[in-house]
Amino acid sequence: MDSNTEKIFFSYSETETEKFASEIAASLEVGSTVLLRGDLGAGKTVFSRGFARGLGCDDTLSSPTYTIVQEYMLPGNHRLYHMDLYRIADANSALGFGVDEFIDDPKAFKLIEWPERIESLLPQKCINVQIIHKGDEEREIRVKR
Ligand SMILES: Nc1ncnc2c1ncn2[C@@H]1O[C@H](COP(=O)(O)OP(=O)(O)OP(=O)(O)O)[C@@H](O)[C@H]1O
Ligand SMILES: [Mg+2]
């Protein structure tokens, strides 16, 4: 995919979202940061699960709601940091738990749910994923690099 292009995908099931996410993941370089935007229940964690699988992660990704950051080991000694910032008030409280160390790790993939909480700390070059709830099982997924 070229830079500045937007890819729009319509998903009709959790499985389709996971598969789409795994394909996106497989196309990214180590160090990439993916921002996941969308309402509660849109499918950000479902997307993350497929994404982790696309990176060859053996563990099943779970919702990190109460842990904020969940770390997964990947083949090649790489890591995936999955962050859920829903309960984080702002950039300052995120710095309080050291969010910058995760974001700055060049050997890790970063997946961030609720990046709105730390807008000022986000790297310039991110992959933006927006998930829109269209119906019971229908989602519109926009990926912008
Ligand atoms: N096409 C679809 N893609 C993804 N999830 C879907 C789809 N259709 C139905 N779902 C359901 O929508 C829900 C998505 O939940 P998920 O935890 O991924 O949302 P979330 O965006 O991470 O929410 P939160 O902000 O609370 O973390 C799941 O229950 C899933 O089964
Ligand atoms: Mg979630």
What distance in Å separates the CA atoms of residue 20 and residue 15, rounded to the nearest whole number? 9
Residue 62 CA to ligand 2 centre (angstroms)? 9
Ligand nearest to the CA of 133: 1
Q: Which residues pair with 62 in a beta bridge?
A: none
Beta carbon of 11 within 6 Å of any ligand 1 atom:
yes
Report the CATH fold assignment for 6-144: Rossmann fold (3.40.50)
Task: Name the residue ranges covered by the structural domains of the chain.
Answer: 6-144
Beta carbon of 62 within 6 Å of any ligand 1 atom:
no
Residue 50 CA to ligand 1 centre (angstroms)? 12
Residue 82 CA to ligand 1 centre (angstroms)? 16
Res. 73 pLDDT band, cuts 50 70 90: very high
Q: Which residues contact 76 (CB under 8 A, 6 or more apart)?
A: 30
**Burial track 54-76 (b if 16+ CB lie within 10 A, e otherwise):** bbebeeebebbeeebbbebebee
Protein residue closest via CA to atom 17 of ligand 1: 45
Residue 53 CA to ligand 2 centre (angstroms)? 16
Nearest atom (ligand 1) to Cα of 13:
1
Whether residue 86 has pLDDT greater than 90: yes
- Express each pLDDT in 10-23 by its tens digit: 999 999 999 999 99
The model's pTM is 0.94
